[in-house]
Amino acid sequence: MPRVAGAGGRLKDIPVGSPKRVLLASPRGYCAGVDRAVVAVEKALERYGAPVYVRKQIVHNKHVVATLEQQGAVFVDEVDQVPEGAHVVFSAHGVAPAVVKAASDRGLRAIDATCPLVTKVHREAVRFARDDFEILLIGHTGHEEVEGTAGEAPENVTVVNSPAEADTVVVRDPEKVVWLSQTTLSVDETMETVRRLRERFPKLQDPPSDDICYATQNRQVAIKKVAQEADVVIVVGSANSSNSVRLVEVALEHGAKAAYRVDYASEVRQEWLEGAATVGVTSGASVPEVLVQELLEDLAEAGYAEVQTVQTAEEDLMFSLPRELRTDPSGNRDARALGGRAR
């Protein structure tokens, strides 16, 4: 008999019911910014040797962090935990100018792996603050990306955590207000927050271009389509991954009868699949494809051998390595362009 993961062990036997299938969302998994950041740590270790220090998690994925730790990366909360003169990598989520200064003051050799799309939001914050706009930053207080963006213009930024907060936020001058956002939010919830803000502040300006990144939007569009036909959706991603958590919410909002997030296939519980003919599968933008394949293997053993890919977009955006790693030790240029590889 096929097996599904049970609460008391990795897999247990259950009988086969009606025909079963998996709807596999595409795009899913690694985006170009995540790939760039992970490769930056790998190349730094290759070039400089272990240890290489990383401020915060390089990306929000438990498996990726553990794998890099095995290779010699040391993750710290703040730069004052890094020995003077050592190499430190700033995570894909970006850092505030105060962190850059603190690293410089300690003589650290910093490698900036901030996603270029996050850097774009930082530059927008600087520009609008320079023009004395009040910036309503839609995002989650305490998230590293929000801390980094707010740190670019702390006197001008107010964080708006939800549509409900849009109804109560206070601004100095309703004539000079602009909204920006964390790049990994739910598109629908962000637009609802903007709608409520604009009802209160009709002169509210938009950012020059979308702040929610292409990968976040593409993964949400794909899971919306999958959710319409899925009895249950399983999202592979870590609990602190904002975009992974949003995928669960989006699936539930667009038709999935149930949706769950797991780090590993072994976390899938038997009762999730009971009575489910169609299982939707996707993964957050910081999730290596190997974890999705492990889930598909377990689902196949449980009778879900038929896999249908639901493709809603093609992704071909590529980023070069951080400038600190674009030349090899002999001075030769090594500016490889990187995309979202299946890892």
Omega into 27 within 30° of 0, i.e. cis? yes
Q: Do the beta carbons of residue 243 and residue 261 sit within 8 Å?
A: no
Half-sphere exposure of 6 (CA within 13 A, CB side): 8
Catalytic residue among 134, 145, 147, 152: 145
Q: Is 145 a catalytic residue?
A: yes
Six-digit token pair at 155? 């006197």
Q: Would you list the DSSP string of 38-103?
A: HHHHHHHHHHH-S-EEEES-SSS-HHHHHHHHHHTEEEESSGGGSPTT-EEEE-TT---HHHHHHH
Q: Report the distance separating Cα 151 and Cα 314, nearest Å.
A: 34
Within 96-186, where are the H helices? 97-105, 116-130, 144-150, 163-166
Residues with a known catalytic role: 145
